[in-house]
Every structure is written in structure tokens, then in C-alpha cells.
Amino acid sequence: MIRYSIPIRRIRLESKLPSTPHRHKAQQSLLGSTIVEVQICNQIKQHRKHVVDISLNLLERYAPEVVHLIEANPHNDKVTLPLCLNSLEHSNEIEVPALTSLFAHWSADTTPNIPSIGETVLHYCVLRLLNNREALYVRDDIMSRLEAEPLNEIDVQSIWWGLQETYEFHEWVDAMLYNLAHFDVLNKQPVGGYIELFIETELLGLSDQAHARVASTYRRYRDAIKPTKAPSLLRRATRHVFRTHA
């Protein structure tokens, strides 16, 4: 039996994970006991949303790479850490719960318990957002698990929504499609039906070229692994969304 491995490139995060830079004078005056309001916002720091409050000393200990982003307002003594996202559309499902969980573990000085692939993906997303070096190891762990265990609908949603605005997205989709074909997930109900409907819906927001790429990638994996058993991915999408590429 020929093993069909996932084509994964080991890549770095978008930033080069810099060491903590020299702080601004306003930040140098902050004490370790200062409470920092962690926020998420868009790339121009608008539409800010409160996520959680955490002490400055915990941020310095666990997320030193983002301490230089802290803003101190001299007029109201408010100290904030704005984390800029490419999109806020799915922040309530991705960044907010993942950051809340991570900071809770930091505050309790405990190791996060993240058994599922979907939860691990959320953990990776926020470590990546915080430029934490641990993200590289978590990413490798997830990619290994994608070769060893089938995805469910929550895992697929976490991968798609958590990483669709990053330059890594195509690699994650490739790994996800390989998993779905390798474990014949789409033939297993009701999970397969949920996943197929989710992907079909998400494809409606992509270009025709992206539509074709997703369908052709899945077919390639399907035909290499189980040419007679695996279903045609996105049957309805293939008839309608991909009809121009037939």
C-alpha cells in the first residue's frame, strides 16, 4: 500500500518572532501589577472589542513579544493591548474563546488541556497572534495529527475560520482535504454531511479559481488513496459552483 503523505512545508510565522524590543517611556513606567485590557480590533485599530483583563507581569512572562504594543492612556490611566486581526468576522468563535482560555491558564499557571484538533488549532491561532515561539511546535503537532486521526465538523470549521486570513491558509486547506480523503470522512454521516455543507457554504465566498483549486485538490487526494470508494467532494458545489470548470 502506497502511503500518500501530506505536502507540508515547514514555515515560519509571518513575523520573525522578534525578541522583546526596547519599550516606550510610557511603558517603562508601568508596574508589574498593572492590569492590561486585552482587546481585538481591525488593522487600523478600530472596532475594538474587550477580551480579557490580565496583569502586565503575566504578559511579560508569557507573551513578551507583544508587550511593546501596550498602550497607556495618560488621561484615564487605562492600559490596553490591542491585537489587530485581518478580519473580525469570526472572532467570537476563534480569537475571543481561545485568548480567554489561554490567559486563564496563564493566570492559574497551568498547562492548557486541548484534546481535540479544533481546540488545538484555536490555541495555535492565538499563539501565532501573540508571536509566541510555541506556535511553531503546536503547528507541527497539528500537522502530525492530521495524518493520524480524522477531522470532525468543528475541527474543519476551526481550521477554515481560524486561518483563512493568513498566508498559510492554502497549506492548511491542502492538509485538511488530504485528511478528509484519507479517512473517507465525507462518507461517514452525519459528520460528513455537516463538513460538506460547511465547505460548500464557505466556497461561495471565494473566487472561481479558488473553487476549482479546492475541488481538484480533493479529487487528486481521493483518486490517489481510494479511487473507487471516496465520494466526490462537494457534489452540489461540483454541479453548480464549479460548473464553469467542468
Q: pLDDT tens-digit profile of 35-92?
A: 999 999 999 999 999 999 999 999 999 999 999 999 998 888 889 999 999 999 999 9
**Structure confidence at residue 20 as a pLDDT band (50, 70, 90):** very low
Q: What grid cell was written down for 206?
A: 471565494
d(Cα 10, Cα 123) in Å, to the nearest integer? Answer: 19
Quick check: 124 pLDDT over 90? yes
Q: What grid cell was written down for 239?
A: 454541479
Chain center to CA of 24: 31
pLDDT averaged over the chain? 82
pLDDT tens-digit readout, 196-222: 999 999 999 888 888 889 989 999 998
**Structure confidence at residue 231 as a pLDDT band (50, 70, 90):** low
Greater confidence (113 vs 159) lies with: 159
Q: Given this model, what pLDDT does residue 225 score?
A: 79
Say how many C-beta atoms besides its own lie within 10 A of residue 59's C-beta.
23
Q: Given this model, what pLDDT does residue 189 score?
A: 85
d(Cα 102, Cα 201) in Å, to the nearest integer? Answer: 30
Give Cβ neighbours of residue 151 (< 8 Å, ≥ 6 apart): 117, 159, 176, 179, 180, 183, 185, 195
Mean pLDDT value across residues 128-137 = 95
The amino acid that residue 209 corresponds to is: Q
Say how many C-beta atoms besides its own lie within 10 A of residue 62's C-beta.
19
Global pTM reads 0.78
d(Cα 131, Cα 133) in Å, to the nearest integer? Answer: 6
Q: Given this model, what pLDDT does residue 126 score?
A: 97
Among 37-41, 95-99, 141-145, 219-223, the range scoring the smallest mean pLDDT is: 219-223
Among 21-35, 46-60, 85-99, 122-136, the range scoring the smallest mean pLDDT is: 21-35
Q: Where are the domains of the chain?
A: 26-87, 150-245
Among 85-94, 109-118, 157-166, 174-183, the range scoring the smallest mean pLDDT is: 109-118
Give residue for cell 498593572. 34
Query: What is the DSSP secondary structure assignment for residue 84, as one 8-state letter?
Result: E
d(Cα 97, Cα 101) in Å, to the nearest integer? Answer: 6
